[in-house]
Structure 1
Amino acid sequence: MNYIKHLNGVFIQFSKDNRLNPTHISLYVGLFQLWNNYHFCDAFHINRQEVMAYAKIGSKSTYHRCLKELHHWKYLFYTPSHNPFQGSRIRMFDFGTSDGHVVYPYRPKTRTSNGQVVVPLNKHIETTKNKTNGDKPDCPQNEFEVISFFQKENCPKKEAKKFYNHYQSVGWTLGGNTKIVDWTAVARKWILKAEEFKQEKTILPVSQNTDNLRTVSSKNYNEPL
């Protein structure tokens, strides 16, 4: 997927579409940034609060309305989720073709009223592959996935948020330059460290009132050391 060609193509389409307002465009740009963070994968899950922050949208009703309209107007494919631990699913369409027409590489086949199957005109499409190290995910799709994983490992939700915020801020790398190849393995190591830290805190500190040297109170200071 060509980053520049895509943005040029979609903004040309924006200029021709009178149905759009600035909120639609800011929402699309926010979703595009998340798509970029996920390396332009086939589809990705979103966190509503995160998307609203990217798009600078303060109203939930405005957010949902604009997202549904972008779906109906064929700028993206939106699958809502009713699972509190998994966000809605988004598939972006590629606007970066040489002739300026949008390509729907991920849109399922549909049928017309007479039963004829409608397929994209351009059949020679190179889709983006989303395979990294077999079945090992290099990073979670969103915060809800991390929370769900930590809860399965009997680890508090607060610890999951700390883990997600830390590695999200460093781009899911180790030491700032090594890309994580399996975030679940890193998460298990984080959980073990959290357990060790918790056990260390339960050790009673040395009291100032305790005779830790076990000396006798009746000391004869005439005796040599």
Structure 2
Amino acid sequence: MNYIKHLNAVFQKFWEDSRLNPAHISLYMALFQVWNLSRFPEIFYLDRQEIMKLGKVGSKATYHRCLKQLEDWNYLDYFPSHNPYKGSQVKMLIFDTTSGTSTAPTTETSSEQDVKQALVPNTNNNKQIENSNKRKLPKNEIEVTEFFKNNEWPSMEGLKFYNHYQSIGWKVGGKIKIVDWQATASNWMLKAEEIETKNELSQNKDNLRTTKHKDYGQPL
């Protein structure tokens, strides 16, 4: 049962039906909510006090009158019971914008079932792929070197990274466990770039302060 199509159709029916008043609509929506929470069974038992409270219906007379009229006007089937231990029952008629009114819950077509069955394994596969991509630690040094290569870094730098963290148990600062080794590797690359840049600046700075041609005959 497609409850979205059902609600669209039933609200269209409300709009066209001049016999209804707010009490009818409120009571119907309270019944629909109970039906929904019960996972749309063909027939379900009523708790009058619960339905009245949910639908904001103030009196028993209004409740019974509206319930009987909703049945007469083909919104539902009402099965009253005079046994307080058994309770009354309701069967909600199903409305659909395409197929009209049906007196029994519709079953899923084979194509819909095939789609659902196809979606379940794909969803599980996607989760497995995500989990593998977000693995905390690499399988081996080859996976690390490949990651560095893909980021245009030499394999030797990847091997340095792997050996360093392998020797300290894959912990940042020797204390905090790594939760995403690829993010840690990316930070390693950034720090390596910073160190390389500082070294270049330091060399340039020294070259500016010294001369290659000195006269050692001059006093210091």
Q: What TM-score does the superposition give when structure 2 sets the normalisation length?
A: 0.47
Higher helix share: 2
| Structure with larger RCO (C-alpha < 8 A, sep 6+) | 1
TM-score by length of 1: 0.46
